[in-house]
Amino acid sequence: MQLNETKMTLTVNGESTDYDGKATVAGLVASMDADPDRVATLLNDTIVKQDSRAAAALNEGDRVEILAFAGGG
């Protein structure tokens, strides 16, 4: 199933965000210029693994957390 670009309001990292893009978690990550290999994603408090992001559909009002891994010592 291919999802088209859609306008919707999401809560991303705790902030209301108007999103106009591909209605998947993968599309949202890409729109944020985040490295998909270096983030963890949650959709409505459920972990979305990297290989499932393209199929994880976004809907109006969804809550998404995108957490970037940081290195350091």
Residue 18: pLDDT over 90: yes
Contact 23, 4 (CB under 8 A): yes
pLDDT at 55: 96
pLDDT at 3: 58
CATH number for 35: 3.10.20.30
Contact 44, 62 (CB under 8 A): yes
Say if 20 falls within a structural domain: yes
Within 13 A of 54's CA, how many CA atoms are on the CB side?
3
Q: How many domains does the chain have?
A: 1
Reading the block at residue 10, the tokens are 């999401």
pLDDT at 10: 97
pLDDT at 54: 96
pLDDT at 1: 44
pLDDT tens-digit profile of 44-56?
A: 999 999 999 999 9
What's the whole-number average pLDDT of the chain?
91
Say if 38 falls within a structural domain: yes
